[in-house]
A and B are shown apart, each in its own frame.
Chain A
Amino acid sequence: MEVRVQNIRKEFGRFPALEDVSLDIRSGELIALLGPSGSGKTTLLRLVAGLESPTEGMIFFGEQDASRKSVQERNIGFVFQHYALFRHMTVLDNVSFGLKVRPSNRRPPAAEIRRRALDLIDLVQLSGLEKRYPGQLSGGQRQRVALARAMAVEPNVLLLDEPFGALDAQVRKELRKWLREIHDRTGHTTIFVTHDQEEALELADRVVVMSKGAIEQVGTPDEIYDHPVSPFVYGFIGQSNCLNVTLANGEIWFEDRPIGLRAANEPDGTATLYFRPHDIELIDGCGGCLAGLVTASRRVAGTRHLELDLGRAHPSVEIELPPERATSTDHTRVAFRPTKWKLFRKEEKRGAAQQRVETPAAELARTGT
């Protein structure tokens, strides 16, 4: 089912947790809410679930306005970070709970409930464990029970709040793959919250990057990674370097020299240059480049990471090279130029009133190739 979040605002006391958030979720989509803690992602999820009520704004399930409906009426499946299983019930009772509590006119017969619960237990690969109690299961198994329990009510939308947050790395990776398979098989519209970008990029059809109670960017994992629209997204997703540069006649200058990159339609002034460590080319003989001394070098799996010192006034920059091309000795001079980069203009701080009139930084940004 489609889920539409419209101009939602949520305040806890006087503290705003979400500010004017709108989001369209397509039917059958697996979408990730990604952001640092305190970005409002869990609040947004709980608002969709009906576990919180919005201060302002509306939520639609399909064409229906769900904003005034109670949690029970929304028919959603919710999976909690710490499982929240009923520990006095067996796995089977946990999974069939949602069907058993239905009013008698909508409740399937007992045999049907049992059959559906067993099917789901089978789907989450826990066949044979249906008589166990949650206390007798491992963390990964408990979370699979929680997922089966949430899916048993045939929810309009499946909501997962950091579902793998309490599990160790190995189990986490396994479950991630497995969740994707389950989603492809069952096709539930699914929203999940995570602070782990790897998880979001690997698992989701689309990723919603959130920061400070607002949505920064919505897009496919490729769009988010290759075309971040704000400095926050650039910095939050993947590795990145940023340098303070100046623009003069469409040329980008670093300190006192041009670095061989052009941004033709940009007005003169200061800006910040963002690029990823692996989007660079090495240059022999520097006629317009960035150059620095190697201060540290690390081998990480298939690449070598070099840390470069570009001058005392600047933060050090990290680049990634194939191991055979990298010199590992310290204090070598390395000249390079970003192949993919982006400029963000700083919003000048003259006063709150004027700031709003200015064009947002995102629209000024240009991507070079």
Chain B
Amino acid sequence: MASRSSTRWRFRQPSVIPGFGLALGVTLAWLTLIVLIPISGLIWRSSGLGWSKFIELTLDPRTVNALTISFGTAFIAAVVNLFFGVILAWALVRYRFPGKRVIDAMVDLPFALPTAVAGIALTALYAPNGWIGSLLEPLGIKIAFTPAGIVVALIFVGLPFVVRTVQPIMEEIDKEVEEAAATLGANRFQTISRVLLPGLLPAGLTGFALAFARGVGEYGSVIFIAGNLPYVSEIAPLLIIIRLEEFNYAAATAIASVMLLLSFFMLLVINMIQAWSRGRYGYGS
């Protein structure tokens, strides 16, 4: 759209910092090089399959199961992260306690740690003979080598996304708004649920979307803890690798394309909800 010369002048706003053309040029060139070309390669590859073959490959029960597990566990992990991430951010923003800086820095660790390391560490903990696993085993709860293990690993890698997106918005919350709610007779629970949380909704959704997207694509940590049983705890990215190792490139690209479409669709929906709530609450205005 932006490249159409007839409408282009409208994007140009007078500004103290010129360079619209340059900025947009760099943006498009960069996106094309880094994102669009690889992805279109993928789509081009899978489009070579033809519709019937493509549908046959994606409706293969093993593929459907892997996709369900990937998206399902990523969704559950993102929900858990949304809940606990908001509480964590709240503690970091609102209270002063010894070691606060250390905890604040620790939130970013899942970003930095090689995911394989995380996967191995979590497996060691949650395996039936691990510290936590041995406590849960008498209760009949198995975490490692089940889909629950995948959720645990995805919670680990997704945590920083929610905390880091919600934190700055929380810092901006005006204390007077809470006081206003209190003077109007709202108790603590009402103040939190009716005044504070709705204001955090757009940021929370962003964090949720990021954690979810990260979870769908996660590979390194999951393969160690999942057990990788086909139809039970096999994730879609792993299935892609397996197909590649079988030199079954068609099946690999088909799964990848479906993942891409599903992810894009879900992120689009989340983004639209966000844009709607932003416009409504007057953020950024």
What residues make up the interface of A, taking CB atoms closer than 8 Å to B?
49, 51, 71-72, 75-78, 80, 82, 84-88, 97-98, 101-102, 133-136, 146, 149-150, 152-153
Q: Is the CB of A80 within 8 A of B185?
A: no
Residue of B nearest to A98 (CB): B184
Q: Is the CB of A75 within 8 A of B185?
A: yes
Q: Is the CB of A84 within 8 A of B174?
A: yes
Residue of A nearest to B202 (CB): A88
Residue of A nearest to B176 (CB): A84
Residue of B nearest to A72 (CB): B185
B56 at the binding interface (Cβ < 8 Å):
no
How far, in Å, is A222 (CB) from chain B's closest CB? 33
Q: Which residues of A contact B277 (CB under 8 A)?
A: 88
Contact among A51, A78, A133 for B280, CB-based, below 8 A: A133
Q: Which residues of A contact B190 (CB under 8 A)?
A: 101
Q: Which residues of B contact A51 (CB under 8 A)?
A: 179, 182-183
Most chain B CB inside 10 Å of its own CB: which residue of A82, A87, A146: A87
- Known contacts A84-B174, A86-B177, A71 near B183 by CB under 8 Å: yes
Residue of A nearest to B180 (CB): A84
How far, in Å, is B75 (CB) from chain A's closest CB? 25
How far, in Å, is A127 (CB) from chain B's closest CB? 21
Q: Is the CB of B179 within 8 A of A101?
A: no
Q: Which residues of A contact B176 (CB under 8 A)?
A: 80, 82, 84
Question: A150 vs B183: C-alpha distance in the bound complex, in angstroms?
Answer: 8
Q: Is the CB of B182 within 8 A of A71?
A: yes
Q: Is the CB of B179 within 8 A of A98?
A: no
A sample of 27 cross-chain residue pairs with beta-carbon separation below 8 angstroms, ordered by A number, consists of A51-B182, A51-B183, A71-B179, A72-B182, A72-B187, A76-B183, A77-B183, A80-B176, A82-B176, A84-B176, A84-B179, A85-B180, A86-B181, A88-B198, A88-B201, A88-B277, A88-B280, A97-B181, A97-B184, A97-B186, A98-B186, A133-B280, A133-B282, A135-B281, A149-B184, A150-B184, A153-B185
Q: Is the CB of B180 within 8 A of A101?
A: no
Question: A159 vs B144: C-alpha distance in the bound complex, in angstroms?
Answer: 59
Q: Is the CB of B184 within 8 A of A101?
A: yes
Q: Which residues of A contact B182 (CB under 8 A)?
A: 51, 71-72
Contact among B184, B194, B198, B285 for A153, CB-based, below 8 A: B184
Contact among B186, B201, B282 for A101, CB-based, below 8 A: B186
How far, in Å, is B205 (CB) from chain A's closest CB? 13
Residue of A nearest to B186 (CB): A101
Q: Is the CB of A135 within 8 A of B181?
A: no
- Proximity string of chain B (159-201) to chain A, C-beta cutoff 8 Å, 1 when within and 0 when not: 0000000000000001011011111111100100011001101
